[in-house]
Amino acid sequence: MRRPKIFYGQLFFTLVVCAFLIVPAILSALAGVTENFFVGLKSGFTFRWIIEVWELYSETIYLSLLIAVFCLIINLFIGVPAAYSLARIGGRTARIVEEMIVLPVAIPGLAIALALIIMYGGFRDFRISWSFILVGHVLYTLPFMVRSVLAVLTSTNFKILEEGAASLGAPFWHRFIYVVLPNAKPGILAGSLMVITLSVGEFNLTWMLHTPMTKTLPVGLADSYASMRLEVASAYTLVFFVMIVPLLIAMQLLAKSQRQPKKLIQDEDAH
Amino acid sequence: MSSNATAVTLHKCAKTFEDGTRALDPVDLAVEGGETVVLLGPSGCGKTTLLRIVAGLENPDKSGEVWFNNDDVTELPIEKRNVGMVFQSYALFPNMTVAENVAYGLRVRRMSKPEIEARVLEMLKMMRITELSNRNIDQLSGGQRQRVALARAIAVRPRVLLLDEPLTALDALLRERLRVEIDSLLRSLAITSIYVTHDQAEAMALGDRIVVMSKGKIVQTGSPREIYNTPKNSFVADFIGTVNRIPFAMINGIGSPKGHDLVFRPEDAEIVEKSSGQFNGKVVNSFFLGDRIRLIVDCGTSEHITIESFQRDVIEEGDEISIRVHQDRFLEIN
User: In angstroms, rounded to a whole number, what is the distance separating the alpha carbons of residues B198 and B210?
Assistant: 12
Residue B3: inside a domain: no
User: In angstroms, rounded to a whole number, what is the distance separating the alpha carbons of residues B300 and B316?
Assistant: 18
> Across the strands, what pairs with B31?
B8
Widest pairwise Cα distance in chain B = 78
Instruction: Please tell me whether residues B267 and B218 are part of one structural domain.
Output: no
Contact A199, A139 (CB under 8 A): no
Q: Could you tell me how many CB contacts below 8 A there are between chain A and chain B?
A: 77
Q: Do B109 and A166 touch (CB under 8 A)?
A: no
**Nearest residue of chain A to residue B80 (CA atoms):** A169
Give the pLDDT confidence score for residue B249 in this predicted structure.
65
DSSP symbol at B62: T
Give the pLDDT confidence score for residue A170 in this predicted structure.
93
User: In angstroms, rounded to a whole number, what is the distance separating the alpha carbons of residues B87 and B57?
Assistant: 12
Give the pLDDT confidence score for residue A245 in this predicted structure.
85
User: In angstroms, rounded to a whole number, what is the distance separating the alpha carbons of residues B38 and B206?
Assistant: 7
Residue B174: inside a domain: yes
Top residue of B19, B52, B76, B79 to mutate, by most chain A CBs within 10 Å, is B79
Q: How far is A237 from chain B (nearest CA, A)?
A: 41
Residue A15: inside a domain: no
Residue B170: inside a domain: yes
Does the pLDDT of residue A35 top 90, yes or no? no
Q: What tens digit of pLDDT does each residue of A169-227 get?
A: 999 999 999 999 999 988 999 899 999 999 998 998 999 888 888 889 898 888 888 88
Closest CA relative to residue A191, chosen from A147, A146, A145: A145
Give the pLDDT confidence score for residue A1 in this predicted structure.
61
Give the structural domain span for B51: 8-239
Contacts of B89 in chain A (CB under 8 A): 157, 160
Residue B324: enclosing H or E segment and its boundaries?
A: strand B320-325
B40 — phi, psi (to 5°)?
-120, 135
Give the pLDDT confidence score for residue A32 in this predicted structure.
81
Average pLDDT over residues A33-60: 80
Instruction: Please tell me whether residues B71 and B206 are part of one structural domain.
Output: yes
Residue ending a domain, choose from B198, B213, B239: B239
Q: What order do you get walking across the sheet with B22-31 strand by strand?
A: B22-31, B8-16, B65-68, B71-72
Instruction: Please tell me whether residues B210 and B265 are part of one structural domain.
Output: no
> pLDDT averaged over chain A?
86
Give the pLDDT confidence score for residue B171 in this predicted structure.
87
Better pLDDT: A239 or B103: B103
Strands B71-72 and B65-68, bridge-based pairing: antiparallel
- Give me the number of domains chain A comprises: 1
Strands B217-222 and B209-214, bridge-based pairing: antiparallel
What is the share, in percent, of chain A residues with pLDDT greater than 90? Answer: 37
Give the pLDDT confidence score for residue A141 in this predicted structure.
94
Task: Kindly report the length of chain A.
Answer: 271
Residue B91: inside a domain: yes
Of B84, B93, B141, which is closest to A269 when you measure between CB atoms?
B141
Tell me the CATH number at A186: 1.10.3720.10
Q: Do B95 and A179 touch (CB under 8 A)?
A: yes
The string of DSSP codes covering B270-295 is EEE-GGG-SEEEEEEEEEE-SS-EEE
Whether A189 has its CB under 8 Å from any CB of chain B: the answer is: no
Instruction: Please tell me whether residues B188 and B98 are part of one structural domain.
Output: yes
Give the pLDDT confidence score for residue A3 in this predicted structure.
74
Contact B148, B92 (CB under 8 A): yes
Instruction: Please tell me whether residues B288 and B318 are part of one structural domain.
Output: yes
Residue ending a domain, choose from B176, B211, B239: B239
Whether A168 has its CB under 8 Å from any CB of chain B: the answer is: yes
Residue A40: enclosing H or E segment and its boundaries?
A: strand A40-45
> Across the strands, what pairs with B270?
B324
Residue B115: enclosing H or E segment and its boundaries?
A: helix B113-126
Residue B291: inside a domain: yes
Q: How far is B77 from chain A (nearest CA, A)?
A: 9
Of A167, A262, A268, which is closest to B84 when you measure between CB atoms?
A167
Provide the residue-wise pLDDT of chain B in tens; the chain has 334 residues.
445 789 999 999 999 988 888 889 999 999 999 999 999 999 889 999 999 999 999 999 888 999 999 999 999 999 999 999 999 988 999 999 999 999 999 999 999 999 999 999 999 999 999 999 999 998 999 889 999 999 999 999 999 999 999 998 888 888 888 888 898 898 888 899 999 999 988 999 898 999 999 999 999 999 999 998 888 888 898 888 888 887 766 665 555 555 567 788 888 888 888 777 778 888 898 888 888 888 898 887 778 888 888 877 788 888 888 888 887 777 777 5
- Give me the number of domains chain B comprises: 2
B318 — phi, psi (to 5°)?
100, -20
User: In angstroms, rounded to a whole number, what is the distance separating the alpha carbons of residues B118 and B103?
Assistant: 10
Instruction: Please tell me whether residues B72 and B203 are part of one structural domain.
Output: yes
Q: Do A169 and B177 touch (CB under 8 A)?
A: no
Contact B6, B192 (CB under 8 A): yes
Three-state secondary-structure class, residue A174? helix
H helices of chain A, where? 5-31, 48-89, 91-106, 109-120, 124-127, 130-155, 158-167, 172-175, 181-201, 204-209, 217-227, 230-259
The string of DSSP codes covering B84-104 is EEE-TT----TTSBHHHHHHH
User: In angstroms, rounded to a whole number, what is the distance separating the alpha carbons of residues A199 and A217?
Assistant: 10
Q: How far is A89 from chain B (nearest CA, A)?
A: 13
Residue B334: inside a domain: no
What is the share, in percent, of chain A residues with pLDDT greater than 70? Answer: 93
DSSP symbol at A268: P
Give the pLDDT confidence score for residue B87 in this predicted structure.
93
Q: Radius of gyration over alpha carbons of chain B, in Å?
A: 24
B254 — phi, psi (to 5°)?
-110, 130
Instruction: Please tell me whether residues B275 and B295 are part of one structural domain.
Output: yes
Instruction: Please tell me whether residues B22 and B59 are part of one structural domain.
Output: yes
Contact A70, A195 (CB under 8 A): no
Better pLDDT: B118 or A267: B118
Does the pLDDT of residue A264 top 50, yes or no? no
Give the pLDDT confidence score for residue A230 in this predicted structure.
83
Contacts of A169 in chain B (CB under 8 A): 79-80, 82, 105, 108-109, 156
- Chain B interface with A: residues with Cβ < 8 Å: 55, 57, 77-80, 82-85, 87, 89, 91-95, 104-105, 108-109, 128, 138-141, 143-144, 152-153, 156, 174, 177
Instruction: Please tell me whether residues B75 and B166 are part of one structural domain.
Output: yes
Closest CA relative to residue B101, chosen from B110, B90, B112: B90
Predicted model pTM? 0.80
Give the structural domain span for A106: 58-226
Of B94, B109, B174, which is closest to A183 when you measure between CB atoms?
B94
Does the pLDDT of residue A168 top 90, yes or no? yes
Collect contacts of B287-296 with beta carbons under 8 A, ≥24 apart. Answer: B294/B266, B295/B321
Contacts of B116 in chain A (CB under 8 A): none
Residue ending a domain, choose from B188, B206, B239: B239
The string of DSSP codes covering B149-163 is HHHHHHHT--SEEEE
Q: Do A174 and B108 touch (CB under 8 A)?
A: yes
User: In angstroms, rounded to a whole number, what is the distance separating the alpha carbons of residues A120 and B300?
Assistant: 88
